[in-house]
Amino acid sequence: MGGFRKPELNGYYSERPEQEIQGRASFWTPNQAFFIYWQRSLKRWAVCDAGSLLAARGGANPGWAYRSDARHFAKANDGWIEAVGTEWQTADVRCTILEGSIRDDSFADEEVPNTLKVKFTGFHKQDWYCLGLH
């Protein structure tokens, strides 16, 4: 994946089915510093740092970036919003599926990815603050 202003968010994410968060498998960077997870109450995907894992598992919605709709993050490059300082701004994100496939997400609550590995690129942000997503 790429296109985020925060460079740490760009790169490879691999599915970790054993790391279920809010009812779905999560996707992690190789160094496990960041993960993508489903925000059940908001019906969207978000990118978060590992330091916020317990909050995400507890049902909170922390993150650095999120999808503005319920489409699977690997199926749509448009619709990303990211934290820039204390504001939320649109992000021109690109996601490439490197391995695996995802099912049709017409019904977001039923969509389940099949062992998937993706790459993000393009984050540019150097200074950042962890914000809760609302």
pLDDT (tens digit, 9 = 90+) per residue, 87-130?
Answer: 999 999 988 888 777 755 544 444 444 556 666 665 544 433 33
- Say if residue 69's pLDDT is above 60: yes
Over residues 26-40, the mean pLDDT reads: 96
- Paired strand residues for 24: 21
- In this predicted structure, what is the pLDDT of residue 112? 46
**Residue 66 class from Cβ within 10 Å (0-12 exposed, 13-18 middle, 19+ buried)?**
buried
Phi, psi of 29 (to 5 degrees): -70, 160
> Which one-letter DSSP state was computed for residue 133?
-
Structure pTM?
0.78
- Percent of the chain having pLDDT more than 90? 60
d(CA 124, CA 63): 17
